[in-house]
Structure 1
Amino acid sequence: MDLRKNILTALLIAIGFILHQVIPGILGAMKFDIMLSVIFVCLLVNTNMKNILMTALLGGFITAMTTTFPGGQIPNIIDKIITCLVIYMIIKGMEKYKKNIIFVGFIGLVGTIISGTVFLYSASLIVGLPASFKVLFLGVVLPTSFFNTIATVIVYNAVKVALKHSRIEMA
């Protein structure tokens, strides 16, 4: 595994942590999960399976520690692991489009919807939801997915420029 790419993943997750901290809780004490945008960029930059697992666990544990959702710690970890594995399969299945900006936005949109659905479903089973699944999906997951589509493209472009200047090759 390339040490520079691991360091890049760790730095991106740290940036995601900071952004996740400053996003306020909204409907039902849930937050827009900006960490997902950073996670998706990590997965696009380094598609090594060890990086996928490291990104999923780091992202899951950090969002679990900073969640405003009562009892949302375990659902955060579950959703990041499942989301990272599904997004990994999508990226691998559509490898030739990986550097296409529309595909990057697609990953942000679909990945956030997957993550939000898994989070809500697992939270409903483990601790219950403060509102109905439908209300939380429409009020939090969908707006977050549109926000993360744009955020993922912005973060991806910034990382692409940084990698170009540091002469690190994307996977």
Structure 2
Amino acid sequence: MRTRDLAQAALLVAIAMILRTLTPPLVLGMKPDVTLAMMFIILIIKRDIKLGFLVALSTGLFTALTTTFPGGQVANIVDKLLTFIIVYNLIPVITKFASKRIAAGITTAVGTIISGSLFLTIASLLVSLPAPFVVLFTTVVLPAAVINTVTAVVLFSVVNFAMDIEYNQAENKAV
């Protein structure tokens, strides 16, 4: 893992946290987790398991600090790490059949559903849910998956473009 990759990932996680704070709640004060979309984008672009673990851990910690879900701190950390493990192993399969931009959308849709399911399951084991699992899944997780998917496709294009510019500038300096 290069220092440049770590710095870029940290910047992208910070941007995701800012977007998270600006995102309005959907139901019962719960918000779509834009940090997930950014985590998946970083995993697709960088394909580094150590960096991915650090991004998942930092994303989990930051979302735990800012959660509005009662008792959602532990659930956020555990859900991000488990989601990272699952999605990291799905990405090569998805990118084999789709462009990276399409893969970002598919990965985010699937990953958000996995993450939301894990979060609700873990939270239900630790504290009581404010509504039945199915209600929360259909009113929060599924809309969040749609919002995150659109966000990921747009953000992926921006991030990938910025990375290409940086790569080309570094290549020109080397010449």
For this structure pair, what is the TM-score category when the shorter chain's length is used for normalisation?
over 0.9
Please say if residues 25 and 68 of structure 1, whose CA atoms lie closer than 8 Å, have aligned partners that are also in contact.
no
Which residue of structure 2 lines up, in the alignment, with residue 114 of structure 1? 114
- Greater C-alpha radius of gyration: 2
Q: Please state how far the C-alpha of 1:98 moved relative to its aligned partner.
A: 6.5
Pair 1:37-2:22 in alignment: no
Which residue of structure 1 lines up, in the alignment, with residue 49 of structure 2? 49
Give, as a single letter, the amino acid of the residue that structure 2 aligns with 1:167: Y
Which residue of structure 2 lines up, in the alignment, with residue 22 of structure 1? 22
Partner of 2:28: helix, strand, or coil?
A: helix
* Partners of 2:31 and 2:81 in 1: CA distance: 19
Pair 1:62-2:62 in alignment: yes
* Partners of 1:9 and 1:144 in 2: CA distance: 23
Q: Please state how far the C-alpha of 1:124 moved relative to its aligned partner.
A: 0.4
Which residue of structure 2 lines up, in the alignment, with residue 134 of structure 1? 134
Which residue of structure 1 lines up, in the alignment, with residue 96 of structure 2? 96
Give, as a single letter, the amino acid of the residue that structure 1 aligns with 2:128: G
Distance 1:98 1:77, change over 3 A: farther
Please say if residues 44 and 100 of structure 2, whose CA atoms lie closer than 8 Å, have aligned partners that are also in contact.
no
Partner of 1:27: helix, strand, or coil?
A: coil
Please say if residues 57 and 80 of structure 1, whose CA atoms lie closer than 8 Å, have aligned partners that are also in contact.
yes
* Partners of 1:34 and 1:162 in 2: CA distance: 19
RMSD (CA atoms): 1.6
Distance 1:143 1:94, change over 3 A: closer
Structure 2: any 5+ residue segments left out of the alignment?
171-175
* Partners of 1:134 and 1:6 in 2: CA distance: 38
Which residue of structure 2 lines up, in the alignment, with residue 71 of structure 1? 71
Structure 1: any 5+ residue segments left out of the alignment?
none
Q: Please state how far the C-alpha of 1:129 moved relative to its aligned partner.
A: 0.4
Distance 1:71 1:139, change over 3 A: same
Distance 1:55 1:98, change over 3 A: farther
Give, as a single letter, the amino acid of the residue that structure 2 aligns with 1:140: V
Q: Please state how far the C-alpha of 1:7 moved relative to its aligned partner.
A: 0.9
* Partners of 1:57 and 1:97 in 2: CA distance: 29
Q: Please state how far the C-alpha of 1:102 moved relative to its aligned partner.
A: 1.9
Q: Please state how far the C-alpha of 1:25 moved relative to its aligned partner.
A: 2.7
Q: Which moved more, 1:22-31 or 1:117-126?
A: 22-31
Percent identity over the alignment is 41
Partner of 1:5: helix, strand, or coil?
A: helix
* Partners of 1:115 and 1:70 in 2: CA distance: 17
* Partners of 1:136 and 1:2 in 2: CA distance: 40
Partner of 1:28: helix, strand, or coil?
A: coil
Which residue of structure 2 lines up, in the alignment, with residue 8 of structure 1? 8
Please say if residues 91 and 98 of structure 1, whose CA atoms lie closer than 8 Å, have aligned partners that are also in contact.
no
Aligned residues: 169
Q: Deviations over 1:7-46 (max 9, x none)?
A: 1110000001111111233312211111111111111111
Q: Deviations over 1:61-99 (max 9, x none)?
A: 000000010110000001100111111000133453474
